Amino acid sequence: MTAPKPHAAAAAKTQKKPFYTSLSTQVLFGIALAIVFGYVSPAKAAAMKPLGDAFIRLITMIITLVIFCTVVSGIAGMQDMKKVGRVGGKALIYFEAVSTLALIIGLVVGNVMQPGSGFNINPATLDAKAVSDYAGQAKAQNVTDFLMQIIPTTITDAFAKGNILQVLLVALLFGFALSLAGARARPLVDLFEALTHAVFRIINILMRLAPIGAFGAMAFTVGRFGVASLGPLLKLIATFYICGILFVVLVLGAIAAAAGFSIFKFLRYIKEEILLVLAVSSSEPALPTLMGKMERLGCSEALVGLVVPTGYTFNTDGTSIYMTLAALFVAQATNTHLTLTQQLTILGVAILTSKGASGVQGAAFIALVGTLMVIPAIPVAGMALILGIDRFMSMLRAAINMLGNGVATVVVARWENEIDPDTLRRNLA
């Protein structure tokens, strides 16, 4: 009897795998169940919030270790130290170009679609207290303040606070030091490589809880806010979702095509991360698995460790679209006329305030409040209009933020000739 070919046996084994064992299927089922539960029993569904919060905390507790180990072992194993600076420079140029384009798109769409026209809201009738807590968190900062915040008070302080950029800075310094130490530091490099594998094993274990986390987060959203809350502000939500989807298909799609891959195949490749981010309204829980998938795609460990964490702060495409679009909505809803100079001021301020608004729930809302505080003509109390629907909008903006960073990683890897188009297309398939 002829033995089956290895690839045929592997294919048969793959076919035997039940569909319900797929993480994306389980997450999708959790989301669907949560929507039904939230509609049938809103009060009980809202009480499921701790399930979503607990899952997010489980993932975020390990993120700093993932970044630190990946960057240190990646850089320490690189022969060309100039490549680190070159990769970082290319990534930052890409981030600024695409996120600024996203801000401009939000501004243009807001002027064309006029989502806030017809509301005729008197700012005096709005509940300013509802926004006061966010206004207290929104602190105006200049470039110097932003750069100073990247430097931690102590090394342990960076890990204790979970500040991604601070951890990245420490990891870069540590990686460079190990590389310069040469053979004497080899045992320590091997230790970090082993620790990296162990940390990703932990992530694999925690991701089994993703369906439960997605269920808890989505049940709370539907139960607490309800689908009915979307009605009065449906035009703003529809405008944002259509604009966001078109940004992914047209802008990121064009960038992906120029880099030699299909955006639709890339979406399929990271479908688990997209579903998870949509469910929990935060892009941070997907960061570790996104990094792992980018490495499996062919991007080097050092490049992934540099681009993905940095992008979570500097490359917030979804947040950028939201900020300029929502700012114009508040102005239009309160019949506040904005001159071209004022709109350009919003754009300029948002370029800075949008940084660091990725990952954490509500961070984009706080950043938008901080942006509006710079333009006295726009009543900050107008943010109370969209406070109730912000959770629904944060679902898409977090997904676009995460997706944009995945595309950016592949693009920079292509610029560095780390992966050729044929290999990329084969891995995505």
pLDDT at residue 132, as a whole number: 59
**Rounded Cα gap, residues 159 and 152, in angstroms:** 9
- What is the pTM (predicted TM-score) of this model? 0.81
Q: pLDDT (tens digit, 9 = 90+) per residue, 179-192?
A: 887 778 788 888 88
pLDDT at residue 404, as a whole number: 93
CATH number corresponding to 19-428: 1.10.3860.10
Please state, rounded to an integer, the average pLDDT across all residues of the chain. 82
**Rounded Cα gap, residues 128 and 73, in angstroms:** 49
The type of residue at 229 is S
Q: pLDDT (tens digit, 9 = 90+) per residue, 378-399?
A: 887 777 778 777 878 888 998 9
Full DSSP string of 333-371 = HTT----HHHHHHHHHHHHHHTTT-SSSTTHHHHHHHHH
Q: pLDDT (tens digit, 9 = 90+) per residue, 243-296?
A: 999 999 999 999 999 998 999 999 999 998 998 888 888 888 888 889 889 988
pLDDT at residue 252, as a whole number: 95
Q: pLDDT (tens digit, 9 = 90+) per residue, 80-126?
A: 667 777 888 899 899 999 999 999 999 999 999 988 887 777 777 66
**Distance of CA 71 to CAs 192, 295, 310, 386, Å?**
10, 12, 11, 39
Q: pLDDT (tens digit, 9 = 90+) per residue, 226-257?
A: 777 666 688 898 999 999 999 999 999 999 99
